[in-house]
Amino acid sequence: MPFSFRRFSLAATSALLAAAAGAAHAAPDESARARYERDRQACLSGNTQQSQAVCLQEAGAALESSRAGQLTDAAAPTQQNNAVERCDVFKTPDDRAACLDRVKGQGAVSGSPAAGGVLRESTTTTITPAPATR
């Protein structure tokens, strides 16, 4: 049984680190090092579901894999495609374009998945000409 738990925890940790790797915008080596330091601190503080030794070993392995370009976020394209498909419910081109803008990160974002959902909001100002007076 310990082997199965370790394999699960390794897979879960790898998946989380892979997701973090895909979300990073800094230079790959800098973000990998910063991620390693965060992971290491979590290991040392005991805020993980695994032993400290295993946690530190996995954090180091993830750092090396990231530096070698082996950590990728395979779920990112699927999540992006799903988000774009949600905009298909809008019938007018303007509404669909506004939805796509929100999906791409424009506008205000509030909430979280843990809180039950993410609300994306944008404001569009439309100027209509005044009716002609005689």
pLDDT tens column, 111-129 = 887 888 888 888 888 898 8
Domain boundary among 22, 43, 67: 67
pLDDT at 92 over 90: yes
Residue 46: what pLDDT? 83
| Cα–Cα distance, 105 to 58 (Å, whole number) | 32
pLDDT at 51 over 60: yes
Do 26 and 58 share a domain, yes or no?
A: yes
Domain enclosing residue 38, as ranges? 2-67
Domain boundary among 48, 67, 86: 67
Domains in the chain, number: 2
B/e letters for 56-91, b = 16+ CB within 10 Å, e = fewer, are bebbeebbebbeeeebebeeeeeeeeeeeeebeeee
Q: Which residue would you say has higher pLDDT here, 29 or 89? A: 89
pLDDT at 39 over 50: yes
Mean pLDDT, range 42-46, rounded to an integer: 87
| Cα–Cα distance, 100 to 89 (Å, whole number) | 12
Strand partners, 111: 118
Considering the entire predicted model, what is its pTM? Answer: 0.38
Residue written as tokens 């370009």?
A: 69
Do 55 and 26 share a domain, yes or no?
A: yes
Domain boundary among 42, 67, 92: 67
Q: 75 in helix, strand or coil?
A: helix
**Backbone φ/ψ region at 4: left (φ over 0), alpha (ψ -120 to 50), beta:** alpha
Do 54 and 84 share a domain, yes or no?
A: no
| Structural domain includes residue 129 | no
| Cα–Cα distance, 106 to 96 (Å, whole number) | 14
60 touches 66 (CB < 8 A): no
Do 47 and 89 share a domain, yes or no?
A: no
Do 39 and 63 share a domain, yes or no?
A: yes
61 touches 88 (CB < 8 A): no
Do 11 and 61 share a domain, yes or no?
A: yes
Do 21 and 51 share a domain, yes or no?
A: yes
Residue 111: what pLDDT? 87
Do 102 and 48 share a domain, yes or no?
A: no
Strand partners, 120: 109
Count the neighbouring beta carbons within 10 Å of the beta carbon of residue 127.
5
| Structural domain includes residue 133 | no
Q: 53 in helix, strand or coil?
A: helix
